[in-house]
Amino acid sequence: MMLSFFDQFMSPTYMGVPLIALAITLPWILYPAPTSRWINNRLLTLQGWFINRLNQQIFLPINQGGHKWAILLTSLMIFLITLNILGLLPYTFTPTTQLSLNMAFAVPLWLATVIIGMRNQPTAALGHLLPEGTPTPLIPVLIIIETISLFIRPLALGVRLTANLTAGHLLIQLIATAAFVPLQMMPTVAILTATVLFLLTLLEVAVAMIQAYVFVLLLSVYLQENV
């Protein structure tokens, strides 16, 4: 029984071919395409409002040089939100529950922010490793600690997204099993459990959106330190 709970996180295959690439590619079809008309429909207007609000929240504290990342980070957040929410549908696979995929997003973007900081302002970038006013005996220890914390950042990004989504999916499956098993013997308990399952599903939709926002927000914080 315990193995079946974790089977949902295995990458699906068809004739030996992994379908994770298909699961990553297909969500792009769901996005509405812009039109050349002067007045857009409600869906495009809502999408534009959402993107504008997102850019205001993320790039307001970042100077002009960091605004070049707006398209990349906005596209990444919309893509992560889509994958996370589609993964809550029945008989679907959530690619963002795979640590390898999340690390593939986190490591290159984090490394790009570090390289930009080392190229544009190397003194300030290296200054983050040693806080001002540090006592002389603590300098080697603090440099080692700050260096370790710097290299842990991409791992924390990937593990946070993977752990939250994996825990949510496992909890939904456990409560769904608890609602289905006593359906004939104790229908009242099953109905109450199904109500809890419905509320938990709404919570997981919010978690799916919040985790994508936190992922991009932390990347913008790293960018702000190096721009």
Q: What is the pLDDT tens value at each position of the chain, 227 positions in all?
A: 445 666 666 777 777 767 777 778 777 777 777 667 777 778 778 888 888 888 888 888 887 777 888 888 888 988 899 889 988 888 788 888 888 889 999 999 999 999 988 888 888 778 777 777 778 787 888 888 888 988 999 999 999 999 999 888 888 888 888 888 777 788 888 888 889 889 999 999 999 999 999 999 999 988 888 87
User: Measured between alpha carbons, how far is 32 from 48 in angstroms, rounded to an integer?
Assistant: 11
Tokens of 11: 């990458």
Torsional sign, CA 140, 145, 146, 151: positive
Kindly tell me the burial class for residue 132, based on how many C-beta atoms sit within 10 Å of its own C-beta (0-12, 13-18, 19 or more). Answer: exposed
Task: Please give the single-letter amino acid code of residue 185.
Answer: M
User: Measured between alpha carbons, how far is 227 from 114 in angstroms, rounded to an integer?
Assistant: 9
- Taking 3-state DSSP, the helix, strand and coil percentages for the chain, each rounded to the nearest 5, stand at 80, 0, 20
**For the chain, where are the alpha helices, taking DSSP H only?**
2-6, 20-25, 42-59, 70-86, 99-120, 122-127, 139-180, 187-226
pTM for this model (two decimals): 0.83
User: Measured between alpha carbons, how far is 41 from 20 in angstroms, rounded to an integer?
Assistant: 32
Task: Please give the single-letter amino acid code of residue 104.
Answer: A
